Amino acid sequence: MTRSAKRKLAIVLALILVGAVALVAATTGLGEPGLPDGDVAFVDGVDDGSITQDDLDSAIQQAAAQSGLPKPPAPDDPQYDSLVQQAMQSLILAEWVKGEAADRGITVTQQDIDSELQRIKDQSFSSEKEFQKFVEQNKFSEADVQEQVELTLLRDRLEQAVVSKPTVSDDEIKKFYEVNIDSFKQPANRDVRVILNSSKQKAEQAKQALEADDSDASWKKVAKQYSQDQASKDRGGLLEGLTEGQGDPQLEQQAFSASEGEIVGPFKTDRGWYVIEVSAINPETTQSLADSSSAIEQQLVSSKQQQIATDFQSDFVDKWTPRTVCAPDETIELCSNFVAPETPTAPGQPTPPAVISRQPIEPGTSTISIDGSAQQGLPQGPQPPPTKNAEGQVPPGAVPLGPNGAPTGAPPGTTAPPTGAPPGTTAPPGTTAPPGTTAPPTTAP
């Protein structure tokens, strides 16, 4: 090729390149690559990942309605920025859920949506008219209703795919039991019958009656006639499992120094005059591993599920934030182009660390729930790194199990609910939602 021909080819290529740049600038906007013209946000890797200004306007209307406002405030009102944050977060998370579900092959059909919507109506509303009133109050269109139900189903199926029930080995249960053995001990305690009365004379009369006959029937009769202790008077004065150091020290001093079957009193306390009889002395016991294993397994499963959710949360945010670009005026923490605002400091004071949102967020937060409570879902948003625990240690936030599965210090006979519940979130503190709705999540400033 001659030098002249090469020069002509270079000019042509340069012109083509200039044209391509002009085309990109016209369609995406210079300075915000990947954001189509007129959109407020775009999520790459999602079918139709554009979030339009109309989408945002509609979401702001809904956020205002859920906050109890008849209409959104003016843009110069500080509350308006909060509504924009809520609306943008809801819209972006919806796209993330759609994208994540698609990547995992999770789908829902129109029949699924129709069935779920009918279930919501049947369980949460007394009539179609009441449902339509709810839809109108919350500024939903029919398309909004369909999308929210679809997102609810996608989120639930995504959660099922991510947070399956983990297995717990016998060795893990045994290790937990051995490390937390004190939690499974029931301290020595006493069953004590008591008569309490503000009058010493009536307490003396009660004692005389019991010294003549201290049978169960007599105690029931005397307690009903003389005792002012509401916790025991209808039970023949019986207080079971009285543990030293956990109640009235004046009563305990007498109860734990008395012999079994000995009637003691009247003696004065801050509550009044007592007459007591120790009916049983119970030695310290330790619940066996066999009797504890079921409750331990529940707690370990819950802890593992929480860890799975935490790991997924971190991966989820790391995966989708770089794919999300937002217009400058609508940028929030979920956007790749978000820049945290600088916090002003007083002269001479050290610069505070950057504020990072720790508020759990639900992907595809639904504004339609079955019972008016916040939907259960996978928590999202930046979180602090998980704390490593020594093997067998109770995980943070978990309640050590005691005898019969009860938390340490729980009254005898109680059963501890599973702790470290499977991932799920509630409406953020300070937010409210009308019946049947989930308050939109908020982002820390």
Q: pLDDT band for 371, please (50, 70, 90 cuts).
A: very low
pLDDT value at position 116?
Answer: 92
Cα–Cα distances in Å, from 386 out to 206, 303, 310?
60, 12, 8
Average pLDDT over residues 75-102: 90
pLDDT value at position 444?
Answer: 35
The CATH label, of 3.40.50.880, 3.30.420.10, 3.10.50.40, 3.40.50.1860, for the domain at 188-283 is 3.10.50.40
User: 69: helix, coil or strand?
Assistant: coil
pLDDT value at position 6?
Answer: 41
- Specify whether the CB–CB gap between 240 and 196 falls below 8 A: no
- Residue with the bigger pLDDT between 346 and 394: it is 346
pLDDT value at position 370?
Answer: 33
d(CA 254, CA 268): 11
d(CA 438, CA 442): 12
pLDDT at 366 over 80: no
CA torsion, ordered 208, 210, 213, 216, to nearest 10 deg: 170
Q: In sequence order, what are the beta bridge partners of 272?
A: 269
pLDDT value at position 343?
Answer: 67
pLDDT value at position 171?
Answer: 92
Average pLDDT over residues 166-192: 89
Neighbours of 240 (CB within 10 A): 16
SS (H, E, C) 128-180: HHHHHHHHHHCCCCHHHHHHHHHHHHHHHHHHHHHCCCCCCCHHHHHHHHHHC
- Specify whether the CB–CB gap between 297 and 396 falls below 8 A: no
With CA atoms as reference, report the closest residue to 100 among 51, 47, 147. 47
Q: In sequence order, what are the beta bridge partners of 276?
A: 194, 264
pLDDT value at position 352?
Answer: 53
Q: 100-109, 136-145, 287-296, 423-432: which range is least confident on average? A: 423-432
Write out pLDDT tens, residues 241-263. 888 777 788 888 888 888 888 88
| Burial (Cβ within 10 Å: 0-12, 13-18, ≥19) of residue 72 | buried
Two tokens, residue 100: 């994540």
Q: pLDDT band for 378, please (50, 70, 90 cuts).
A: very low
3-state percent breakdown (helix, strand, coil) of the chain, nearest 5? 45, 10, 45
Two tokens, residue 22: 């002009």
What are the E-state strand segments in 180-262? 185-186, 189-197, 238-243
Across the beta sheet with 189-197, what order do the strands follow?
238-243, 189-197, 272-282, 263-269
Cα–Cα distances in Å, from 74 out to 28, 83, 215?
29, 11, 77
Chain-centre distance of CA 424, in angstroms? 5
d(CA 279, CA 383): 54
pLDDT at 29 over 50: no
Average pLDDT over residues 142-169: 88
- Specify whether the CB–CB gap between 279 and 260 falls below 8 A: yes
- Residue with the bigger pLDDT between 322 and 411: it is 322
Return all residues near 139 (Cβ < 8 A) that are at least 6 apart.
58, 61, 62, 64, 65
Q: pLDDT band for 409, please (50, 70, 90 cuts).
A: very low
Neighbours of 244 (CB within 10 A): 14
